[in-house]
Amino acid sequence: MKTAYIMRKEIRESVLTSKGFLWYILTSVILSVLSYLFLTNSELSLLDQGQMLYMIMNFVTALGILIGVVSGSDAIAGEIERGTLEALLLSPASKTEIAAGKLAAALMNWCIIFVISIPYLFVVGKGGQNLLSGIVYLAVLGTLLAVIFSAFSMGLSARIKSMKNSLIVSFLIFLLAGSPIFLSAALRTTWFGRVLDLVNPFADAINTFDSVVVDSQGFSYQTGRIAIICGYAFLSLLFLKRSVSRLEM
Amino acid sequence: MIKSILTAFVIFLATTVNCSTVFAAGRVAVSIDPPSVQANMGDKITYAGAITNNSDKAVNNLIAYISLANVTPGKEAPMDLEDWSANKAVKVDVIPPHGAYEGKWPMRLIDSGSYVAYITVVDKESAAPVTSPVSRLDIKRILRLNPNNVLPTAIGEPVIIGAVFLFIYLKRRNKAI
């Protein structure tokens, strides 16, 4: 109940604001441009619908993570810097409930981005393969990744107590997680590339999207990667819980 | 006199060598179908090539590939078929004596202009490759402004989100007043 109250407060203060809507409008504009470019290009290239759907899914996931990192970094350190954390800690809600409410609000951003992306996914994937299964995987894995990165950056902001620094560290970790994208296909097939792909939750998610949407592989192929992502989600929640329990007035 | 005899001998030798080249090339012939195509950008067409073995011996391990040359005035150049075709070359293991092989080359028309397509067959027994007659290909530029009906979503969704934002903003402002 207290968690729900904090979540509603956070949504009022960060999601349903001009800043929040600016994110969503920008997300929508970027997805519009990308979809249009992909589709007009597909008329003239061998890029198939599945490949385009996969690329849009990667982009939506990265965007969701990015907004989760920013919201997470602001969640605790922002309250400290604004001098409002004391009032929050004096409320009847426990530290865990406060963290859960803030995390739920951060996840709301991901949910809105996912909902915004659905019409684009349908337009881009129309007539292609594995559209519905791709959307289901995006919903599940995108939510897990949003939990991982939001909880981690929230925990970090509770420990570092500086929004700027926690944002920088979280961004660096996000870039590190996204680094397999910058590696060449040849490098990714080496043992180093494979290990990096396997231990990296973001790479696990995009490899799962590739496997489901482009290669039409079933759930049994995805279990290992999904288990790793679930493990990271559990660890990041544990990190958040331990980090907020150290908070003092 | 000696010079004339030598010249005549050289001409004879050259003619003989040339005859054998033509003969070697002549044991395999290749044709391309259709002989001309008019299509739009983005269309998919398929060229068929018939490789015939005119000799009394089987021919083995032929390589056949399709080529495209841009003959649009001012843009004359051979084309890299990277985006045009996923299977540009085929290997033909064996064609029996007086037999034929039918190959197919699907192609996606990426850019507008005038082109010629031709199939080349490389026979390692022969000194020169064999080439089919050219097939003229005219591709008309076509502009698709709304593929997959993307425009209503691409334009509509940011507008709807903006309208929702405006609605919430005005509602809150009126409440505050």
Interface test with B, best of A36, A48, A112, A131 (most B CBs within 10 A): A36
Q: Which residues pair with B113 in a beta bridge?
A: B139
Q: What is the DSSP letter of B35?
A: S
Phi, psi of B53 (to 5 degrees): -100, 110
- Residue-number span of the structural domain to which A31 is assigned: 2-245
Average pLDDT score, chain B = 82
Q: How many domains does chain A have?
A: 1
Name, in order, each residue with C-beta under 8 angstroms of A123's C-beta and a sequence gap of 6 or more.
A35, A39, B148, B149, B150, B153, B154
Average pLDDT score, chain A = 86
Residue A96 CA to chain centroid, in angstroms? 21
CA distance B25 to chain A (A): 35
CA distance A43 to chain B (A): 5
- pLDDT higher than threshold 60 for residue B162: yes
CA-wise closest residue to A244 among A95, A21, A65, A52? A95
Q: What is the pLDDT of residues B11-51, one digit of tens each?
A: 444 444 443 333 334 789 999 999 999 998 878 899 999 99
Tell me the pLDDT band of B112, cut-offs 50, 70 and 90: confident
Q: CA-CA distances (angstroms) from residue B10 to B1, B2, B14, B17, B62?
A: 14, 12, 6, 11, 33
Q: What is the pLDDT of residues B65-98, one digit of tens each?
A: 999 999 999 989 999 887 788 778 899 999 999 9
8 Å CB contact of A32 and B147 = no
Q: What percent of chain B has pLDDT over 90?
A: 47
CA-wise closest residue to B146 among B156, B158, B134? B156
Q: Is B149 on the interface with A (CB under 8 A)?
A: yes
CATH no., domain B2-143 = 2.60.40.10
ipTM: 0.77
- pLDDT higher than threshold 90 for residue A180: no
Q: Where are the domains of chain B?
A: 2-143, 147-177
